[in-house]
Structure formats: structure tokens, C-alpha cells
């Protein structure tokens, strides 16, 4: 009698992010250096030296990687010119993890700050254009306190940064940029 097959593979959650990258091997090396990723699997196509898919584990979460396939319209954010989402990582010490990622080659998108919802957080961008939000919970707050702080945060005068001040590596195109960015 055959063993029952689980519809969700061992170690996976119901939803698994899958990132498209230029080169899987260099992306894995970056994620290992920046976030302590563990390579779980690597698959190659006809040329065994070129990876087309991989899975890795960061903390207790599995993330899949696919190689770009422009002929199928599958591009990394850097090739597409925009990132429409981000991976959010809760870490034990966001300041230490932040420095480790910067040393590995990540770039700051949004500097670390203490957020109104009780996290110390910021956003990094990797070489493939993927956004990585890193955070550590620093305060346990009630929903009422978060709502009060959110109202104060969004009603405050917030300094804006002109599009001309945004580093060129974060610019998508002149047509898609907003006139101003909100600095946090």
C-alpha cells in the first residue's frame, strides 16, 4: 500500500513567495549573506550549470526562486522597472540584521525608523529589485493605541523629498515617478 501524499509538502506553509531573479546562484549567495538563508533545493535546465529554480529557507519560511524567462514575460523587478510587493522579515535584532544585509550588498530604500505600530522597521532593495522589509517588534500596543498613533502620524507635517533627490538606482522611469516622496 502506498503512503498518503500530503497536498502541502513538509516544511511549506499554505502560501509560498516565489521571487524572479536574474541569476539564481548569485541571488542565493546574496540571501545567504544578507539574511542567513539556507539553500534547500536547486534545479537546472538543459545546461546543468544554469539554475532555473531553487528553494531556500529564511528563518522558518520557505521562499522559492525562479530564473527570469523574458520569452514568457517573466521578469525580475529590476528588468520590469518596478517592484509591486515586498517580503517582510521579522528578525530578533533589526539593527544587526540591517547592517548584515547592507554589508552583503543590499541598498537602503527606506531607512530604519520606529513605526507607530510598535515595530522598528525599514526597507532594503536587493540586486534583483526585490524589496525586503525588515522589522523587530519593540512595543506591544493595543489596537486603540495603534489607531491613535496612526492618526497622529498621518496628521503631522511630513517632510517631502523631491523626485530629483531620489537616487537614480531607485528611479523606475520619469513617467512613473510621483512628483514627491514622503520621507519617514
Q: What pLDDT, in 10s, does the model give residues 116-175?
A: 999 999 999 999 999 999 999 999 999 999 999 999 999 876 554 444 443 444 333 333
pLDDT of residue 178: 36
Q: CB-hemisphere CA count at 13 Å for 173?
A: 6
Give the residue extent of every domain in the chain. Answer: 12-75
Is the pLDDT score of 110 beyond 80?
yes
Fold assignment, 12-75: 3.30.720
Amino acid at each position: 500500500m502506498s503512503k498518503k501524499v500530503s497536498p502541502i509538502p513538509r516544511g511549506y506553509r499554505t502560501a509560498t513567495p516565489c521571487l524572479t531573479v536574474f541569476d539564481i546562484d548569485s541571488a542565493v549567495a546574496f540571501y545567504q549573506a544578507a539574511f542567513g538563508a539556507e539553500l534547500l533545493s536547486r534545479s537546472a535546465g538543459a545546461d546543468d550549470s544554469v539554475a532555473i529554480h531553487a528553494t531556500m529557507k529564511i528563518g522558518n519560511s520557505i521562499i522559492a526562486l525562479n530564473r527570469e524567462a523574458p520569452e514568457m514575460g517573466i521578469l525580475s523587478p529590476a528588468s520590469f522597472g518596478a517592484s509591486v510587493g515586498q517580503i517582510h522579515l521579522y528578525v530578533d535584532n533589526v539593527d544587526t540584521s540591517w547592517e548584515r544585509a547592507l554589508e552583503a550588498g543590499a541598498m537602503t530604500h527606506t531607512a530604519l525608523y520606529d513605526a507607530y505600530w510598535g515595530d522598528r522597521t525599514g526597507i532594503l532593495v536587493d540586486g534583483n529589485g526585490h524589496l525586503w522589509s525588515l522589522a523587530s517588534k519593540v512595543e506591544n500596543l493595543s489596537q486603540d493605541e495603534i489607531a491613535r498613533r496612526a492618526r497622529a502620524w498621518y496628521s503631522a507635517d511630513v517632510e517631502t523629498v523631491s523626485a530629483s533627490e531620489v537616487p537614480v538606482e531607485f528611479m523606475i522611469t520619469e513617467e512613473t515617478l510621483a512628483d514627491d516622496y514622503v520621507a519617514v
